[in-house]
């Protein structure tokens, strides 16, 4: 399908912007059965829905002609949840209606209301605004909706989540009863269904989210992490994917501030978005992300609503979202309008089942994996260096002269080594991270020289009466076990640390020697006991299966 069914004025504007083929939601609103009807659309952010409701509104604004009539009051209204989204929608509609004579006026919080009132008095075809500001203009009689032909609600579910129900109903109640209502929402909770039932008539239901939940253009990954290594995992994921823009979601303002500060200390250009920012600070953060001065945005769910950054290729859930809808909203910041994106959930041991439940409720399949290692990132760094933009740009005459001088002075190998050093110096340092294992609950992370590798032959597990409560740490436990147990690092498998004790995997052939040596007088005063005989399963009997709970029967994670 093409845009042949669109209004001629809009079709020309689309062609001028290289729009050749409509997205599924755009194609759906142009079908004959949608013309002149109220529509209730399930459409994710980034699916091209702004152009979609612009196309759907055309029959009410332009009709069969080429230009919009001047009726002395707005014919179209678009309501969006945030200032950023409303301004973006207004900008999109301006070029879409550029050849129709339509005048688009934005009314949003944080802008001068007096200037907006003057713009409304000068005449507006379509008004785009946020609920609070639109209601304010209505109450002050600056906005006249008596001639309104069509109203569109963009991201209606987010507006209800943000507490705008009263404002929305006030605005819609001020519109003529015969107007069309176009309701676009990423999800369809009961509150949206109730709103549609109240303000729509015989609405056409359009499903434009594809065959699976979320976006078809998003790859979902669930990454196993040690709960104490969240920041390290975020750092390695940012380095591994090297996205032009990335968003990291946290659940609290404090977490956002802390993570953003940590990323900046490590050399990342990171901006933050949280509810405590004033409008000016928020504008500065968003502008830094838009112009590339910041490549990472650390945000809370509410603060990121309505945020549209087309260059986002990676979303990281540093904290798991509260529900499946939040997972979809967060992930929807990437994979937009045909572009590919990656959404990564960081899953500490105790959150495994909750993460799988979220993914199941969102109807998305995630690939389970360990966090990228420092070696993985170093390998990618070498490949990326060979394709660095510095090698693609054409050199000036002065640069060629300097290059010849350096080559003559130092030779090609030394010059190349110096360049490699400079390229590496501008990259944040990758972190050493652990994979806490792939068991059903992996309730304690596996450490030690063989963590994540094949189990030791005939391994024996021992319990030590020291855990996290006494600051147990593999960094000092490993040499202590070798020294006091009379064994080598190669004889030690996984080390799992729990709140009150720790469990250690020892090669079967040295297990008796190890136990005898550890119990000699004058040692570390640590009690030790064998908890599995040689040849038993490498997993202790009480790992990952709390008493009174049924064994886990979920799908096996990808390794």
Q: Is the CB of residue 346 less than 8 Å from the CB of residue 223?
A: yes
Q: How many CB atoms lie within 10 A of CB 399?
A: 11
Query: pLDDT digit string (tens) for 409-466?
Result: 888 888 888 877 777 777 888 888 887 764 333 344 555 555 555 556 678 888 888 8
Q: Is residue 19 part of a domain?
A: yes
Q: How many CB atoms lie within 10 A of CB 275?
A: 12
The domain boundary, picked from 332, 357, 373, lies at 373
Query: pLDDT digit string (tens) for 21-47?
Result: 888 889 899 988 998 899 999 876 667
Cα–Cα distances in angstroms (integers) from residue 79 to residues 35, 154, 513, in the given order? 21, 6, 74
Q: Is the pLDDT of residue 554 over 90?
A: no
Host domain of residue 411? 376-425
Residues 236 and 368 in one domain: yes
Question: Pick from 352, 358, 346: which is nearest to 314 by CA?
Answer: 346
Residues 421 and 465 in one domain: no
Backbone φ/ψ region at 12: left (φ over 0), alpha (ψ -120 to 50), beta = alpha
Q: Is residue 213 part of a domain?
A: no
Strands (E), 44-98: 76-79
Q: Is the pLDDT of residue 535 over 60?
A: no
Residue 214 tokens read as: 């979320």
Residues 305 and 420 in one domain: no
Helix or strand run (H / E) with residue 496: strand 492-497
Distance CA 538, CA 121 (A): 77
| Residues in CB range of 131: below 8 A, 6 or more apart | 79, 81, 159, 164, 167, 168, 171
Identify the band that residue 558 occupies on the pLDDT scale cut at 50, 70 and 90. Answer: very low
Residue 46 tokens read as: 């980034």
Residues 95 and 192 in one domain: yes
Distance CA 323, CA 328 (A): 9
Distance CA 508, CA 491 (A): 9
pLDDT at 442: 34
- The residue-averaged pLDDT of 151-165 equals 89
pLDDT at 361: 84
Residues 291 and 400 in one domain: no
Identify the band that residue 232 occupies on the pLDDT scale cut at 50, 70 and 90. Answer: very high
Positive or negative torsion for Cα 409, 411, 416, 417: negative
DSSP-derived secondary structure for 444-482 = S-EESTTTTSPPPTT-EEEEES--GGGT--HHHHHHHHH
Residues 154 and 224 in one domain: no
Identify the band that residue 509 occupies on the pLDDT scale cut at 50, 70 and 90. Answer: confident
Q: Is residue 381 part of a domain?
A: yes
Residue 29 burial by Cβ neighbours in a 10 Å radius (0-12, 13-18, 19+): buried
Positive or negative torsion for Cα 549, 550, 555, 559: positive
Residue 190 burial by Cβ neighbours in a 10 Å radius (0-12, 13-18, 19+): exposed
Q: Is residue 545 part of a domain?
A: no
Question: How many domains does the structure of the chain reveal?
Answer: 4
Say what percent of the chain tops pLDDT 90: 34
The angle, 0 to 180 degrees and rounded to 10, between the axes of the packed helices 131-139 and 165-173 is 40
Q: Is residue 59 part of a domain?
A: yes
Question: Pick from 488, 500, 494, 501: which is nearest to 461 by CA?
Answer: 494
Residues 339 and 249 in one domain: yes
Q: What is the CA 384 to chain-centroid distance, rounded? A: 24
State phi, psi for 106 to the nearest 5 degrees.
-100, 135
What CATH number is associated with residue 495?
Answer: 3.30.70.330
Q: Is residue 353 part of a domain?
A: yes
Identify the band that residue 121 occupies on the pLDDT scale cut at 50, 70 and 90. Answer: very high
Residue 83 tokens read as: 């200032």
Q: Is the CB of residue 184 less than 8 Å from the CB of residue 41?
A: yes
Residue 230, strand partner residues: none
pLDDT at 44: 67
pLDDT at 212: 39
Among the residue ranges 54-58, 199-203, 279-283, 343-347, the one predicted with the least confidence is: 279-283
Query: pLDDT digit string (tens) for 159-197?
Result: 988 889 999 999 999 999 999 999 998 778 888 999 999
Percentage helix, strand, coil for the chain under 3-state DSSP, each rounded to 5: 40, 15, 45
Residue that the structure tokens 């409509």 belong to: 22
pLDDT at 559: 31
Q: What is the CA 351 to chain-centroid distance, rounded? A: 18
Residues 351 and 397 in one domain: no
Among the residue ranges 114-128, 357-371, 491-505, 518-532, the one predicted with the least confidence is: 518-532
Residues 246 and 190 in one domain: no
The domain boundary, picked from 160, 180, 207, lies at 207
Query: pLDDT digit string (tens) for 64-100?
Result: 677 888 888 999 999 998 888 888 899 899 999 999 9
Residues 387 and 307 in one domain: no
- The residue-averaged pLDDT of 467-474 equals 79
Q: Is the pLDDT of residue 545 over 60?
A: no
pLDDT at 538: 40
Query: pLDDT digit string (tens) for 262-291?
Result: 999 989 999 999 878 877 888 889 889 988
Q: Is the CB of residue 32 less than 8 Å from the CB of residue 59?
A: no
Q: Is the pLDDT of residue 521 over 90?
A: no
The domain boundary, picked from 180, 207, 234, lies at 207
Q: Is the pLDDT of residue 485 over 90?
A: no
Q: Is the pLDDT of residue 547 over 60?
A: no
State phi, psi for 193 to the nearest 5 degrees.
-60, -40
Q: Is residue 3 part of a domain?
A: no
Distance CA 537, CA 520 (A): 28
Identify the band that residue 542 occupies on the pLDDT scale cut at 50, 70 and 90. Answer: very low
Distance CA 52, CA 47 (A): 9
The angle, 0 to 180 degrees and rounded to 10, between the axes of the packed helices 230-241 and 253-265 is 60
pTM of this prediction?
Answer: 0.56
pLDDT at 3: 82
Residue 60 tokens read as: 């009410």
Q: Which residue has the higher pLDDT, 208 or 329?
A: 329
Q: Is the pLDDT of residue 534 over 50?
A: no
pLDDT at 447: 59
Instruction: Determine the length of the chain.
Output: 559
Say what percent of the chain tops pLDDT 70: 87
pLDDT at 46: 63
Identify the band that residue 210 occupies on the pLDDT scale cut at 50, 70 and 90. Answer: very low
Residues 464 and 327 in one domain: no
Q: Is residue 332 part of a domain?
A: yes
What CATH number is associated with residue 297?
Answer: 3.40.50.300
Cα–Cα distances in angstroms (integers) from residue 499 to residues 126, 464, 468, 472, in the given order? 61, 12, 5, 9
Distance CA 74, CA 147 (A): 7
Residues 323 and 302 in one domain: yes
């Amino acid at each position: 399908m093409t845009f042949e069914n669109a209004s001629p004025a809009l079709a020309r504007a689309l062609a001028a912007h290289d729009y050749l083929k409509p997205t599924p939601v755009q194609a759906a609103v142009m079908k004959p059965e949608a013309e002149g009807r109220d529509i209730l659309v399930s459409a994710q952010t980034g699916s091209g829905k702004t152009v979609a409701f612009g196309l759907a509104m055309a029959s009410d604004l332009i009709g069969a002609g080429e230009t919009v009539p001047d009726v002395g009051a707005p014919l179209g209204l678009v309501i969006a949840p945030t200032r950023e989204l409303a301004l973006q929608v207004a900008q999109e509609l301006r070029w879409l209606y550029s050849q129709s004579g339509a005048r688009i006026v934005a009314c949003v919080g944080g802008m001068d209301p007096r200037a907006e009132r003057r713009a409304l008095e000068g005449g507006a075809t379509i008004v785009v605004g946020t609920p609070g500001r639109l209601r304010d203009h209505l109450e002050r009689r600056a906005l006249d909706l008596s001639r309104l032909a069509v109203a569109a609600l963009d991201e209606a579910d987010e507006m209800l989540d943000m507490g705008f129900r009263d404002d929305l109903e006030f605005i819609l109640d001020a519109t003529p009863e015969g107007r069309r209502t176009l309701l676009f929402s990423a999800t369809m909770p009961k509150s949206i269904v109730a709103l549609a039932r109240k303000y729509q008539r015989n609405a056409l239901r359009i499903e434009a989210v594809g065959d699976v939940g979320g976006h078809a253009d998003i790859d979902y990954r669930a990454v196993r992490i040690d709960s104490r290594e969240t920041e390290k995992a975020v750092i390695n994921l940012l380095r591994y994917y090297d996205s032009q823009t990335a968003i990291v979601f946290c659940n609290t303002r404090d977490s956002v501030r802390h993570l953003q500060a940590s990323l900046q200390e490590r050399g990342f250009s990171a901006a933050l978005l949280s509810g405590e920012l004033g409008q000016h600070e928020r504008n500065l953060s968003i502008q830094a992300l838009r112009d590339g001065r910041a490549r990472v945005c650390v945000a809370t769910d509410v603060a990121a609503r309505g945020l549209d950054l087309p260059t986002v290729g990676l979303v990281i859930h540093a904290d798991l979202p509260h529900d499946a809808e939040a997972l979809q909203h967060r992930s929807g910041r990437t994979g937009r309008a045909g572009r590919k994106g990656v959404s990564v959930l960081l899953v500490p041991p105790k959150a495994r089942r909750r993460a799988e439940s979220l993914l199941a409720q969102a109807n998305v399949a995630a690939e389970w994996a360990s966090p990228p290692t420092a070696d993985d990132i170093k390998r990618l760094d070498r490949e990326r260096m060979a394709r660095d933009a510095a090698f693609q740009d054409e050199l000036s005459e002065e640069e060629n002269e300097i290059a010849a001088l350096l080559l003559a002075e130092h030779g090609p190998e030394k010059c190349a080594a110096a360049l490699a050093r400079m390229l590496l110096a501008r990259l944040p340092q990758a972190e050493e991270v652990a994979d806490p294992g792939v068991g059903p609950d992996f309730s304690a992370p596996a450490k030690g020289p063989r963590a994540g590798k094949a189990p030791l032959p005939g391994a024996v597990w021992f319990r030590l009466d020291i855990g996290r409560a006494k600051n147990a740490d593999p960094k000092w436990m490993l040499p202590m076990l070798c020294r006091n147990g009379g064994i080598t690092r190669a004889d030690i498998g996984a080390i799992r640390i729990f709140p009150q004790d720790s469990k250690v995997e020892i090669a079967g052939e040295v297990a008796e020697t190890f136990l005898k040596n550890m119990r000699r007088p004058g040692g570390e005063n640590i009690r030790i006991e064998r908890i599995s005989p040689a040849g038993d399963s490498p997993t202790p009997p009480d790992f990952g299966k709390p008493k009174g709970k049924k064994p886990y029967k979920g799908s096996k994670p990808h390794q």
